Amino acid sequence: MEQPPDHSVHWQPAFPVDARLTLGGLRHGQRDPTHRVEPDGTIWRTARTATGLVTYRIRQQRLDDLLIDAWGPGAAELADGIRDELGARDHPEQFHPQQPLLRRAQRRLVGLRVPGTGRLFEAIVPAIIEQRVVGVDAFAGWTRLVKAIGERAPGPTPAGMRVPPSPQAWATLPSWDWRQAGIDSQRSRTIVQTARHADRLDQTAADPQAAYRLMATLPGIGTWTAAQVGHRALGDADALPLGDYHLGRTTGIALLGRPLADDEVEAFYEQWRPHRYRVIRLLELTPGVAPRRAPRAPRNRPLR
């Protein structure tokens, strides 16, 4: 018999919510130990809330009918915030793009919303790991470290799920473990320094401008990294990741027929404010609109 949940939420929003699309941007590779999608579409996730560890399961019955069960000391806190995490504060209905490709994508991706977990430190660590490296290497490093120092997920989780490591665990991780995971000294040092501000970061969740101001003061945290936190933890549909290696190429080819130069990107996106990240996400989820990647760099090392 399955362990009964500590808290459950039956949410019937007045607008469409596609949990898999909405939370898909929070998954860091197919092997992410904090995020699992079952063949039937059930989503399992883990988190470290202010009140403790939590595992939660999201079952989608219709776009306006979701069942959320949570286990662990942080279950009540998770249940209180799950609507925001699933994009309740987002307003995709206010986005009216003129470009046919974006209009078609918006009609096709009904229920896609920008999530707001409210857990900034949880979002900033993988964003730092993803700085300036091939995505597959970043995902491999994240997976290896979470498996190594993350805690066992509470509740009846699928095998192998772990809770993201605590700030202290990140701050005290030996240099050898960073190297084994393919994380260079600059990124590991940024994570260690940021871990000292974990509580302050999470306390700014209700004030995105304060969150951005704080992130701007942290060594190693630039516009790109702050934008990753913005669209994962703050529900910021306008979080434009300037400096993204592929952004000008992907956007330009998809919408103009030519790549954008780096110094053209910000001005080109101005027309979509305050939905600039929404445009990026719509393009990411539209297959074949543009070749996204340059030739792949060599892997750092196999994931073991």
For residue 276, give both structure tokens.
């600039």
For residue 91, give both structure tokens.
């307003």
Is the pLDDT at 87 greater than 50? The verdict is yes
Band of the pLDDT at 297, cuts 50, 70, 90? Answer: very low
* CB 54, CB 47: distance < 8 Å: yes
For residue 123, give both structure tokens.
């979002």
Q: Which residues contact 145 (CB under 8 A, 6 or more apart)?
A: 165, 173, 177, 181, 183
Is the pLDDT at 304 greater than 50? The verdict is no
Band of the pLDDT at 293, cuts 50, 70, 90? Answer: low
- Mean pLDDT in residue range 154-178: 97
What CA–CA distance (Å, rounded) separates 227 from 237?
Answer: 10
- Mean pLDDT in residue range 158-172: 97
What CA–CA distance (Å, rounded) separates 9 from 7?
Answer: 7
Residue 199 burial (CB count, 10 A): 10
- Percentage of residues in the chain having pLDDT higher than 70: 95
For the whole model, what pTM was predicted? 0.93
The pLDDT value given to residue 291: 63
Band of the pLDDT at 290, cuts 50, 70, 90? Answer: low
Is the pLDDT at 169 greater than 50? The verdict is yes
Is the pLDDT at 28 greater than 90? The verdict is yes
Element of type H or E holding 148 = helix 135-149
Q: Is 292 exposed, middle or buried (0-12, 13-18, 19+ CB in 10 A)?
A: middle
Q: What does the pLDDT look like over 35-50, one tens digit per residue?
A: 999 999 999 999 999 9
Is the pLDDT at 278 greater than 90? The verdict is yes
